Amino acid sequence: MKRVTVIAQDVELSKLEKAAENLIYNVEKLENGLVKVDIYVNDALLDELIPKLQNSVDLRHRESMIEVSSPDFIISSALKRKERGIKGEERATVEELLASSKKYTKIDVGKTALTMIAGIIALIGLFMNNVPIIIGAMLLSPLLGPIYSFVINTSVGRSRDAWLSLLNMAIMLILVILTSYIATIIISLFMPLSLTPEILLRFDTNPIYILMAILLGFAAVFAYAKGLSESIAGIAIAAALLPPLAVSGIALALYLDYAAKPLLLSMENIVGLIAGGLIAIIALKIEPRRYYEKAKARRMLDRLYLTLFSLLVLLVILSLLV
């Protein structure tokens, strides 16, 4: 159950009451010709209600606003009766998805440090050929957020936030490679390092890994957008990215002639994950509400589709040649 609070001009009350018909709401008269309407709505109906309210309120006025909150609990027999007759799947609104992605448009020192630590742990697990340690690194890695933020902002035409998310992701990925590179050089000064089976696995490039990354990207973004376990979705992303990135750092430090293979595998996974995330966005029908915003988002998506398709074809060819 959500509580939608709307502050609008008094003359807009009739429109708001029409938008909230068949729902339970309270009206409070405020000063300066304003009115406050509290509407109680089931989560499954929220996404349908928001555009109706946006069309009922002139949000150009400084005082006008729409706020959505989640009450801890509500005791109401009338609301309980309303809940019984509601059928539908609960889904997050576009506004909620954008709000959850906002934190990934900025470089977070804590998340960046956590990514570097995860890279070092993965490196240790790879050299020890220890799968549980590698999985532990995946649990730490916060690589899902920027990918999720990128596809969400692209789907609604927010180019600036999309590019910031992409930049944030690129910084995290480069730092994993750089951290692995430096750590490998330091460790090699004190002990001999050999290629373990877990490391050798990441020297294998195959087009099937692209398909795997697409499926993982779809599952991760779908789960995240649906409010399912973020940790499960994050592990799916980290499983595809973290070990190949760590092996790329190892190869650059010790086996430069063979570094192209893990780097190519990393690129395949990155492009595949983004492509899978976009497919999830399409499946979830996440798009802007305004017509002019939809046109802008469509142009952004068309360019991204073309870019991803070209990259996927190129990566498939390279994986067959390398």
Q: Quickly state the pLDDT bin for 178 (edges 50, 70, 90).
A: very high
The SS3 call for residue 5 is strand
Cα→Cα distances 9→15, 32, 54, 64, Å? 11, 9, 13, 7
Residue 207, judged by CB atoms within 10 A of its CB (0-12, 13-18, 19+), counts as middle
Percent of the chain with pLDDT over 90: 24
Half-sphere exposure of 150 (CA within 13 A, CB side): 23
- This prediction has a pTM of 0.76
Tokens of 269: 């996974």
Domains of the chain in start order, with CATH, are 2-84 (3.30.70.120), 94-321 (no CATH)
pLDDT at 89 over 60: no
pLDDT at 92 over 70: no
Helix, strand, coil share of the chain (percent; to 5): 70, 10, 20
Percent of the chain with pLDDT over 70: 91
Please report the sign of the dihedral spanned by the C-alpha atoms of residue 91, residue 94, residue 95, residue 99: positive
Summarised one tens digit per residue, pLDDT across range 94-139 is: 777 888 888 888 888 888 898 899 899 999 999 999 988 888 887 7
Compute φ and ψ for 237, nearest 5 degrees.
Answer: -70, -45
Tokens of 300: 């952004």
Q: Which of 182, 172, 319, 169 is nearest to 250 (CA)?
A: 182
pLDDT at 227 over 80: no
Between 232 and 70, the more confident residue is 70
The SS3 call for residue 86 is coil
User: What pLDDT is attached to residue 49?
Assistant: 84
Q: CA-CA distance, 26 to 266, in Å (whole number)?
A: 54
Contacts of 148 (CB under 8 A, 6+ apart): 101, 104, 220, 221, 224, 225, 277
Cβ atoms of 141 and 118 within 8 Å: the answer is yes
Please give the torsion angle defined by the CA atoms of residues 292, 294, 299 and 304, in that order, rounded to the nearest 10 degrees. 150
Q: Which of 200, 214, 208, 219 is nearest to 261 (CA)?
A: 200
DSSP letters, 108-171, are -HHHHHHHHHHHHHHHHHHHHT-HHHHHHHHHH---HHHHHHHHHHHHTT-HHHHHHHHHHHHH
What is the side-by-side order of every strand in the sheet holding 24-29? 24-29, 34-41, 2-9, 65-69
Residue 25, judged by CB atoms within 10 A of its CB (0-12, 13-18, 19+), counts as middle
Summarised one tens digit per residue, pLDDT across range 23-40 is: 888 888 888 889 898 888
Summarised one tens digit per residue, pLDDT across range 181-220 is: 999 999 999 888 888 999 998 888 888 888 888 988 888 8
Q: Which of 224, 238, 112, 245 is nearest to 168 (CA)?
A: 112
Tokens of 106: 């900025």
Q: Which of 69, 72, 61, 77 is nearest to 12 (CA)?
A: 61
Between 232 and 175, the more confident residue is 175
User: What pLDDT is attached to residue 124?
Assistant: 92
Q: CA-CA distance, 179 to 6, in Å (whole number)?
A: 49
User: What pLDDT is attached to residue 235?
Assistant: 66
Q: CA-CA distance, 275 to 174, in Å (whole number)?
A: 20
